[in-house]
Amino acid sequence: MNLRMFSVAFVMVFMSSHANAAGGYYLDGNRLHQYCQTEQGYVVGYTTGVVDALLLLTWYTEATEQKSSYQLCYPSNVLNTQLSDVVCKGLKDNPKDRHSPANILVYLYLSAAFPCTGQ
């Protein structure tokens, strides 16, 4: 599969997985905040999935000699539970943002907690 076809397929799957029947997002910050309090395993899985998608996007943009605007620079020894803790803290501390799509909030909170330096 060439990279162009891969990128089209990736974008289609990524975008369709985040839309629900009402035309909104798959998960918003309010729901993820609820899960932070009741379903920590779900939050770890969701956060890990968003991070994996961003890593794939970074790999793809590097492979096609483009620059990604969505890089994460967390330490190599960080645990998935630590990443989800950062997300839950961000949701708790920023209730004004919770109406936003959860995947965007995950990126924003992780990139703020682990800023890329020297790039």
| pLDDT, tens digit (0-9, with 9 covering 90-100), for 80-116 | 999 999 999 999 999 999 999 999 999 999 999 999 8
pTM of the model: 0.74
Q: Which of 79, 88, 80 is CA-nearest to residue 37?
A: 88
Whether the Cβ atoms of residue 51 and residue 110 lie closer than 8 Å to each other: yes
- pLDDT tens digits, one per residue of 76-90: 999 999 999 999 999
Helix (H) or strand (E) holding 3: helix 3-16
- pLDDT tens digits, one per residue of 41-57: 999 999 999 999 888 88
Kindly indicate whether the domain formed by 27-113 is annotated with CATH number 3.40.1000.
no
Tell me the pLDDT band of 22, cut-offs 50, 70 and 90.
Answer: very low
Six token digits for residue 55:
């890593």
